Amino acid sequence: MLKTMSWQLKARLSLGLLTMILLLTGVISNEWARMIITGVVYIIVSYPVLRAALRDLFVRHRMSEQFLMTIATFGALGLRDYPEALAVMVFYLIGDAFEDYASQRSHNEIASLVKLKPNKVRVVNDDGTETIMKPRQVKIGTKIRVLAGESVALDGTLVAGSASIDMSALNGESEPALFTAGQEVPSGVINMGAVIELIVTKDNKNSSITRLLNLIEDAAANKSRPEALITRFSVYYTPIVVGCAVLLALVPLVVPNEDFADWFTRALVFLVVSCPCALVLSVPLSFFGGLGAISKIGVMVKGSVHIESMSKLKAMAFDKTGTITKGRFSVIDTTVFAHGQPVAATDVTAAQQHELLTKLYALESLTTHPIGVAIVNYCKEKGLELQEATEVEEITGYGIAGNVAGHRIMVGKEKLITDKLGLSVTKSDIVGTEVYVVEDNQLLGRIILADQVKDTARPMFDELNKLGITTYMITGDKERVAADIAERCHISKYFAEQLPSDKLNTFKGIKQDVNTKEYGTIGYVGDGINDAPTLAASDVGIAMGQFGSASAVEAADVVVMNDDLTKIPHAIELAKRTFALAKQNMILVIGVKVLILLLGALGYANIWLAILGDVGLCVIAVLNAMRPLYWVKTKKLEVKEVSSTAAA
């Protein structure tokens, strides 16, 4: 901490402490000498505090904590308690320096990420030479070069070879990730291997590191309820304290035979111990430290207000596709139907199989849904020719329809067959997502796809269950698929066969039930565009940031920067510890100060105890608030600057 102090502050503190010792030991015994030396030293030591107090009073028209210290020390000087007057200022400055150090440490935990956004980029020219440019000047499609040890300034696909990338700044992973040619490398990461070249895929405004820094700005702006309360209360706090101190000093005017000096001292004790710095700093510092700790594991929380909500979570609902599962479907079964009944696989001709897949391919090629993408990839692998589909329309919540080769083709869920067409269908024993193909209102076939459950899904749900959080899954899949995943992942409850329009209403029903029964908050975890309304409606919206849509990330309160679901319960646990720490500091500070105030009002506390109750308590509270900085250990990142010298 001493390294962060300016030489002026060190000189003031040294002078103040030395003079205070000389006064207390009686080395300076002459009354005039004591008064003059104390006056000169007091002005030198107290100058920054006096200046701040006067500026706040006459420019900002408010009484600050510096004003409290000023009138308290003036009173002590008036009573000729010279060592006490200097002690108040010296220890206040020590406490203030300690606060600055702690606050800077806490901010540095998050602000260090800013260093990972380079202000220069190596743009590769057609002749292979480099031009150093600013990230905002580089357009999508430009080739850039990143040397070993440098941070990637813009998202881009790897041109050739492979790259060892340190992803810890974005997702908290300690082990370097291996990227191969064609894969997209996000910005804000560090190239740990040889020189790599990338083709820029996102401009500076939409890059991964810019998005992360925007989340950090949101986090600083959104305060928790305790923080907001303290901020509002501090405006009125000091005038109230000064008024109470004045009333305390005037007691001898009302009560006969009371000593004026004694009551004046009590008023000074009241002023010193009432300094709100311990409370005003330690609570926000607790939350900011918590934000830093959570960011270290690769989870960004958009403000301490959401830490409070996370700490009170009683239930969480999850989207299935892309959140619990990988969202990468594969075809596991194809069935041809004739006269409404499935044809045995041994009896299916190549022509029938070809007809089914060709009609399916024509319509699914027009969708971007993961199921459609999987079917298209499957058909491409089969070498099928893509036919043109006309008069295509989406049947919301059911599927898609269009004309292919002179026939009206409809593709969709089982509900399309039963609800829209009134057809019956023979169930399959295979558990998976079923897609039906209808030609001219006659069932042509069925495709079954499976989506792999993420490896981190079951461990996450197990941890949430240990935390006492009820879990829900909301999915558009059939009952059988939903039940199978819920059983495998240990999900408490699930809602199957939900239309996109049903999701929000279902979630609101869960939320109302939880708020009524549990008196807690409810979270929602999703990654797609259709999850944005539900994320916004939840008490805590959590988006999977690595593969999630921009709208989901924008609507969420918390963003998991990679695809590891186990970071969600870890973040919740850290949020609970952070909120408990903030409450602990509030109770500690208020409790001790109230006790000393009562002792002071009754005449049992002196200025020294008041100083201990102010500065000593502030140091303890701030040390306690700094604990989140050590909850999660991360390695220090070394980043090389981009320069023309290094390029050569």
379-405 pLDDT per residue, tens: 999 999 999 999 999 887 788 999 998
- CA distances to 173, 237, 297, 337, 529 from 347, rounded to whole Å, are 52, 86, 55, 11, 42
| Least confident piece of the model among 3-12, 360-369, 493-502, 631-640 | 631-640
* φ/ψ (deg, to 5) at 155: -65, 140
Helix, strand, coil share (%) of the chain residues, nearest 5: 55, 20, 25
Domains observed in the chain = 326-452 (3.40.1110.10)
Q: What is the 3-state secondary structure (H, E, C) of 395-445?
A: ECCCEEEEEECCEEEEEECHHHHHHHCCCCCCCCCCCCEEEEEEECCEEEE
Beta pairing, strands 470-474 & 493-495:
parallel
Residue 400 bridge partners (DSSP): 394, 411
Catalytic residue among 155, 319, 557, 563: 319
Which residues contact residue 26 at a Cβ distance below 8 angstroms, ignoring those fewer than 6 apart? none
Q: What is the per-residue pLDDT for 279? A: 74
427-471 pLDDT per residue, tens: 788 888 889 999 998 899 999 988 888 999 999 999 999 999 999
Are residues 446 and 435 in contact, defined by beta-carbon separation less than 8 angstroms?
Answer: yes
Judged against a pLDDT cut of 60, whether residue 479 lies above it is answered with: yes
523-564 pLDDT per residue, tens: 999 876 667 788 888 889 898 866 555 666 777 888 888 788
HSE value, Cβ hemisphere, 13 Å, CA-based, for 337: 22
Residue 203 among the catalytic residues: no
| Average pLDDT over the chain, rounded to an integer | 82
Beta pairing, strands 196-200 & 399-404:
unpaired
Residue 229 banded pLDDT, cuts 50, 70, 90: low
